Chains A and B, each alone.
Chain A
Amino acid sequence: MSLLKHPKLETLEQHCTEALKEDQLFTFAPFSQREAEETGVSNYSYWRSTFSAFRRNKVAMFLLILMLCLLLFTFIQPLLPGQFDPNLVSNDARGLPLRNKQPDSVHWMGTNSIGQDLWARIWAATRNSLFIGISVALIEAFVGILVGVLWGYVRQLDFILTEIYNVLDNIPTTIVLILVAFILKPGMGTIILAMSVTGWIGMARFVRNQVLVIRDRDYNVASRCLGTSTWRIIGRNLLPYLVSVIMLRMALSIPGAIGSEVFITYIGLGLPPQICSLGNLINEGRKLMMSPSLRYQLIYPTIILSVVTVSFYMVGNAFSDAADPKNHL
């Protein structure tokens, strides 16, 4: 206290009050509601920042637009003039099927070994394959997140779910895939089921590990002390933290599902031939690949498939980077 009463300070104080009168020192500012609230509320929005961070990645942006166009085009294509039905066998003037016709102005990508228009088949296949991929990703995400959150958050469930995980994780995925595809009738539902049966496990474990890490952070303890319900803590405090990784896994499981479909079709348990999918087309093309003139039947579907899978992969990676708040400005 004695320090505060330093003689020099006192003289300084006197000097100040002498120089300026009180009304000169302070003036009232006009009250403005808007300005008063401006500093109290941050204009940071998670999703806006995520999208602005994403937009800065030019390659990913390009691929995203490309992908959206592709997806849109698979629906527009049947409506365009001069298109064929993907299952229609085209005949030539003498009434014989146009087999293995090279690409020309009528059949833009040629015809396959029984005379169906490859262009129409490729787009129908892309639509189906994307449908499979996206459904699998959504189911996996839903089941995976649900189980993962319960597993990580509810302590009583931890032991039993860990044991179940150990068993399920050790059954080779391929075996389950083949068995399910084999036991049920071939079709879209079977394929999606077969892939989802194994796919959610990885997601669940991932979510569980993350939840374990952040479950007992101070802000969650505080919430719990204030009586916030468990579901609200999970929905508001835990899941937003996981958005970036969940999106990444979902984006990666789409190419994964499309690839598995190719594999299942190869071993002969895939979709029936009247539902075309990229796996079906590639498998048809594979049978003809040794004659160079017919190789287009393998190459076109392969190119489309590669474009789709690479796009999803890159967009997923870029989005997960953008969704990480550490990368926000």
Chain B
Amino acid sequence: MLQYLGKRVLRSILTLFIILCVVFILVRQMPIEGYFPNYQKMTEEQLKNGIHQMGLDQPMIVQLYGFFKNLILHGDLGTSRIYRNNVPVAEILAPKIPISVRLGALSILFSMLVGLPMGTLMAKYKGRFFDHLGTGFIVLIQAVPAAVYYLVIQLYGTELLHIPMLFKVNNPVSWVLPVFSMSLGNIAYYAMWLRRYMVDESNKDYVTLARIKGAGENRIMFRHVFRNAFVPMAQYLPTSFLNTVIGSIYIESLYSIPGMGGLLVDVIKKQDNAMIQAIVLLFATVGIIGLLLGDLMMVLLDPRISFTKKGGDR
């Protein structure tokens, strides 16, 4: 188990390294004009100086080496150049992370509270009215682009419920709409998968056995079927949790939430290389941790699954 984990972590680090290289190279393909707000008025000399200052005139390998040397030896992510001049990236990111984490955590909590019971009830009343209602909701949420229904929620939410349109950290009412919008996708996702897994499970023999024994329908659903159906669900939970915590780019910029998500678009447009790399590093790390945690959850929840078995020994 430990050996497996060790290998897995090493591989993740390798993957991270490659991702960073790819993004590093991609970022350096961006047009030079973008680095200087007053590009038109600059002389040749000034341009050369500016590029030299950023180290962009060096060969790619040297730039890469310098970046990783700073990152690994000093834990230094570089300094922001344009977003906020000469401020270390870590300093800019630090106050933004808690906001995104709080929003994401609230949203996940809400989606689990709504999505999981919804999926369970849909499986229980399969083929009946509630199931059709839920399916309709899921189809709508999955088919209509999020970018569109977020707008509708913002529009009618602010108008009919008189909730402030823009987000303020100290005003809890202004949290309602962003959290609700962020949750809708997750709710549909959880409900859909939980229903599918539960329907699969309830065709199995142990359910028939439980029914023969005379166990009540509710007891079968919640004590037997739900627990088993939750195991494959658990694999996705950490990833979806972390993804939500990272922040939804669209929602954060719609409600002007000072979180992580909106920042990425901003810094890409401003071509702030150090910031882009730092955020990509953060996102990719979080994604990889999510995958790892998902597998761990499965092992913890279901004693039949083990990391090291190669299939067939049970």
Does chain B have a CB within 8 A of A305? yes
Is A302 at the interface (CB under 8 A from chain B)? Answer: yes
Given known contacts A182-B30, A259-B147, A267-B249, A171 and B155 CB-to-CB distance under 8 angstroms: no
Closest chain B residue to A181 by CB distance? B268
Chain A 231-262: CB-based contact to B (< 8 A → 1; otherwise 0)? 00000000000000000000000011011101
B64 CB, min distance to chain A CBs, angstroms: 16
Q: Is the CB of B148 within 8 A of A305?
A: yes
Please name the residue on chain A nearest to B143 by beta carbon.
Answer: A313
A312 to B144, CA, bound (A): 10
**What are 24 sample pairs from A and B whose C-beta atoms fall under 8 A apart?**
A167-B18, A167-B22, A170-B16, A170-B284, A170-B288, A172-B283, A174-B249, A175-B264, A178-B265, A182-B30, A183-B29, A255-B144, A259-B144, A262-B147, A266-B147, A266-B253, A267-B253, A267-B265, A268-B269, A282-B151, A298-B151, A302-B152, A306-B143, A314-B143
**Pair A263/B145 contact, Cβ less than 8 Å:** yes
Q: Which residue on A lies nearest to B30, using beta carbons?
A: A183
Task: State the A residues within 8 Å of B (CB).
Answer: 166-167, 170-172, 174-175, 178-179, 182-183, 255-256, 258-260, 262-263, 266-268, 279, 282, 286, 289, 295, 298, 302, 305-306, 309-310, 312-314
Within 8 A of A (CB), among B110-158: 139-140, 142-148, 151-152, 155
Binding site for A on B (CB under 8 A): 11, 15-16, 18-19, 22-23, 26-27, 29-31, 139-140, 142-148, 151-152, 155, 249-250, 253, 264-265, 268-269, 280, 283-284, 287-288
**Structural contact, B264 and A174, CB atoms closer than 8 A:** yes
Bound Cα distance A309, B288 (Å): 31
A175 and B142 contact, CB distance less than 8 A: no
* Interface core residue of A256, A266, A313 (most chain B CB under 10 Å): A266
| Contact call A313/B142, Cβ cutoff below 8 A | yes
Further contacts, 6 of them, CB under 8 A, given A167-B22, A259-B148, A263-B147: A166-B15, A170-B15, A171-B22, A171-B284, A310-B140, A313-B142
In the complex, what distance in Å separates the CA atom of A66 from the CA atom of B128? 27
Closest to A265 in B: B147
Q: A267-B253, A267-B265 are in contact. Are A171 and B19 (CB under 8 A)?
A: yes
Question: A interface, by DSSP: helix, strand, loop or mixed?
Answer: helix
B144 touching A310, Cβ below 8 Å:
yes
Closest 5 CB pairs of A and B: A259-B145, A313-B143, A262-B147, A310-B143, A309-B143
CA distance A262 to B287 in the complex (A): 25
- List of A residues within 8 angstroms of B147 by Cβ: 259, 262-263, 266, 279, 282
Contacts of B287 in A (CB 8 A): 170, 172
A171 CA / B142 CA spacing, docked (Å) = 23
Min CB–CB distance A232 → chain B (angstroms): 30
